[in-house]
Structure 1
Amino acid sequence: MTATTTQGFRETMKRLRSAQKGHARGAPAYSVYVNRRIGRVLAALAHGWGLTPNQVTAVSALHTFAAIVLLATVPASAWLGILVAILLVLGYAWDSADGQVARLRGGGSIAGEWLDHFVDAAKISSLHLAVAIGLFRFVPDLPPVILLVPLWFSAVATTTFFGMLLNDLLKGARGIASTHVRGGGTARRSLLLLPTDFGVLCLSFALWGTPAFLYVYGALALVSTVFLAAASVKWFRDMRRAG
């Protein structure tokens, strides 16, 4: 970087810190304290390169779906797991960066928000389906019942994502503030919800190709199921109050 470029990068980082939106109350720790900060750096770089928010979303999708394709088409191994984890982590960080780039440019568009959520929905469901395909194709002598875990995880993750979006949509239609309030939540709650964080799921793929993956992945699926069961009760009560 030249001195001018470095100075521009620092100024952009300063603007991003001051314009940072709040997070949902008790949002998982990785997303808040790690992913958002990585995304901030990527957003500053993307802004310097002249990328639009939609282009940043495309970069995120490229990383994420490259990892998903690898899971389903390449024999499981330790090196593949590390590569997949890196791609997923970068894809998740770029996903955080697109909104930050939008704020640098004065705000995003409805089309851009739609594209972001559309890509998120596709990756959340297809990632677990790729796990099922990869296990079926490349892990010999695996009990068939194990394949039900990623299928179940896909249903849980998709339902959770839909529920969160629907909460904000219905509340917004009635003039009720979104859960994404600045400074929301506590560090303790964020740490407790860490196992439900998509970033932790991304990191778990570093174990792909080893016996430990199934145990970690299964534990994350279980925690996500418990979270959805508890959250659905709370969300329904919130909707009754909103109505």
Structure 2
Amino acid sequence: MVVSADPPAPVLTYAEAVSRLRFAQKPKAQTPAYLRFVNRRLGGYLAAASFVRGWTPNRLTAISAALSLVGVIAVMLVEPSWWLGILVSVALLAGFAFDSADGQLARLRGGGSPVGEWLDHVVDAVKSCLLHSAVAISAYRFVPDLSGWVLLLPLVFLTAYVALAFGSMLRDQLLRAQAGGRPAETGDSLVRGLLLLPVDYGTLGLAFLLLGAPRVFLVVYGILALLNVLFDLRLLVRTFRQLSAV
């Protein structure tokens, strides 16, 4: 009996891979501006280069985790300075770019796997927990005469992230199941993307550029935490109404 082998993966140049990715992007609706215009583009370049080299999406996920961990450890262990802020911001944003690249590489290779998607979400959750914990540790260690309530900001920010991430993912799953598996596209809007910048991980990564002025950084960090809470409240109310109407 002759067993047919799987067809070989297509051989693409870097330019061909970049071109193909233009037609294999996630929906633009409800996408923050940095993620849409900067991070996905950087991720596409990384995905195309990785495809040509024969790398796997899980390798890119591991690189993303490693870069993010470098930034987190630096925040926890090193006294804040301007050079540290640049290092941390670059590490976090590079990790974010690789986080976008793994999914795009999976689409270039013909589709992702359940274990790859699971690993990606696990890394995202651990990364965010560690990053906000690192901010609390840094503030406690290196900012003198700091009011105790300021140390609650990372807890507030982390709670807002968990509610936003899991609330929106579960909402999308429930609405998709109700719609027979079709994604719920709500329309493309540049204004909406700009309004969503406070909940964009890229905005948080850029905020670490202010780490050389710790108190200024904490003010900006606190504003982002407050805005994330407000977005959460809006999401929860809107989602409750959406699911109640199903």
TM over 0.5: yes
Q: Could you tell me how far 1:73 is from its partner in structure 2?
A: 1.4
Q: Which residue pairs with 1:193 in the alignment?
A: 196
Q: Could you tell me how far 1:218 is from its partner in structure 2?
A: 1.0
2:95 corresponds to 1:66: no
Amino acid in the other structure paired with 1:74 = V
2:51 corresponds to 1:47: yes
Question: Normalising by the residue count of structure 2, what TM-score does the alignment of the two structures yield?
Answer: 0.90
Q: Could you tell me which of 17, 24, 29 is aligned with 1:19? A: 24
Q: Could you tell me which of 33, 37, 43 is aligned with 2:41? A: 37
Q: Which residue pairs with 1:94 in the alignment?
A: 98
- Provide the C-alpha distance between the structure 1 equivalents of 2:53 and 2:142, rounded to a whole number of angstroms: 40
Q: Could you tell me how far 1:19 is from its partner in structure 2?
A: 1.9
Q: Could you tell me how far 1:62 is from its partner in structure 2?
A: 0.7
Higher-Rg member (1/2):
2
Amino acid in the other structure paired with 1:47 = F
Q: Which residue pairs with 1:142 in the alignment?
A: 146
Q: Percent of aligned positions with the same letter in both sequences?
A: 48
Amino acid in the other structure paired with 2:26 = K
Describe the SS at the equivalent of 2:145: coil
Q: Could you tell me how far 1:176 is from its partner in structure 2?
A: 5.2
- Provide the C-alpha distance between the structure 2 equivalents of 1:100 and 1:184, rounded to a whole number of angstroms: 22
* Count of equivalent residues: 233
Q: Which residue pairs with 1:83 in the alignment?
A: 87
Q: Could you tell me how far 1:215 is from its partner in structure 2?
A: 1.5
- Provide the C-alpha distance between the structure 2 equivalents of 1:113 and 1:176, rounded to a whole number of angstroms: 17
Gaps of 5+ in 1: 1-6
- Provide the C-alpha distance between the structure 2 equivalents of 1:82 and 1:9, rounded to a whole number of angstroms: 30
Describe the SS at the equivalent of 2:245: helix
CA RMSD of aligned residues (A): 1.5
Q: Could you tell me how far 1:21 is from its partner in structure 2?
A: 2.5
- Provide the C-alpha distance between the structure 2 equivalents of 1:224 and 1:177, rounded to a whole number of angstroms: 28
Describe the SS at the equivalent of 2:129: helix
Within-5 A mapping of 1:142-161 = 142-161=146-165
Task: Give per-residue Cα distances to partners, 1:43-87, cap 9 Å, x unaligned.
Answer: 111112211011111111111111111111111111111100000
